[in-house]
Structure 1
């Protein structure tokens, strides 16, 4: 698939030709053995490619140069332990393939088998969690990793850090999605050793940004889409009314992923209900956009919901027949 990948990289290097145009080109030419030749580009019906050719920006010479540069990029990436995977490869995440705006290229370092793990869940939350939130992020991640889930998060400070560390504590697998090129210094710098530990433990670092791409604030928000996109479900440990976690939840809702949030009201006689880090959680509960979790049995129910969503063995009506509230009342709290 290196030829296909180099073709994608080459096309993206031309000004005005973005991912949608590249995807359109390869969809109209997939199966064409000569798809990397300029004369095939010259026949393309993709508007932005035709425009580049008409402007003589994309010529036979510039195309051949771009292909050679793309092959060098693939070679250099391989030397750095970074695998570039295009959206037609078997290793490309099946969960991404279901997204209408899927990234056409992803960059992976580590265990690429985690891109298509049998079960995966994103565990996310604020960068400034309460001590309770830190504890629960770690514990829930540990519990699910021990059950075979790959834990997906963003390597940020706070809840993300606890999620990754919880998975590692039981020798589980975890994926960190980064908002910069994988050959750049890991952000945040406080988690560089954690990133190394993830790789050493058979985990994965993943990015949709090419090598050499530095981090910009807007990339962090863009990255949030892929945390839910890669996962089979999403668990929010703590979030305020505003913040990046809500961006991920918004994407999860659009992607129709099962969503759960930690329900602080059920702990310590409700003393935690007023903390600011919980107000986003309760909003999603009251709006029926997320399932509240606070017992191991509620985690098991959410696990079942993820499985049902993934394999479509049960109808929505069957899932709704589970009386979750009464089940919770009979179970021990996490603490």
Structure 2
């Protein structure tokens, strides 16, 4: 055995391992998603996502405060509206739960970063992410609606908007709308690389946004495609995106690494509902060590190149990281 070269010397103790660690996972890397619903004093657990809740705006403020106290700097706000229609008009209604929650969170926690998810699927009667032409989502008429959603969220106090619809040209439409209305400093975190994935199942339960017919394969990306992801990122950067997201994260770590290597922009990874629910189900059956599994999974996303991790595990992970 060669005693000159022994990698194990740098694994000999926790202190040495920490000293030479190549990747650091911190609560400041996390964004915590919130699901906001109408009403007051509502906090109902989502059955397919244990530990995640439907929250009325007042309870969303409390949840955001708890997250911020743990060192989590940002929340991503989704919403279930009081009404749905063919164009999703409740998505830009200033009296909707999302806009109410954003205003209340910013009033209570001025320093927290409030991010608004910009899409229409939660608000349309048909469950698709845009205006329909027959059974097809009509790309260009949808852009103006998405821009209206983004503007309403900026008016409600959002620091950042995150278009998740995957319509071509939506980043430019949103950037122009924000700039024209005096919100040039509201940033855009684009779901630039969003795959048509089976990992979204529990989210569609939580957000009540499953499509009433067909699927989203004509606008979300084909999981088989890698090079196409780079084209999507390049287009969104050209249109004014400030942060690039890859969704899902765990099955697409290679894509996160590709984006990190090819573009000098902040990269976000979305640790989606299916990834979360699988861990929770296995932990409930005693098959895994939940703490170790979660921290290892999130570390893998950071190691792959993500600067930001959107995760339902954020609160637990932040607590666990404090214990280390």
| TM-score bucket of the superposed structures, by smaller chain | under 0.3
TM-score, length of structure 1 as denominator length: 0.25
Q: Quick one: higher RCO (CA 8 Å, sep 6+), 1 or 2?
A: 2
TM-score, length of structure 2 as denominator length: 0.26
Structure number with the higher helix fraction is 1
Structure number with the higher strand fraction is 2
Q: Which structure has the larger Rg over C-alpha atoms? A: 1
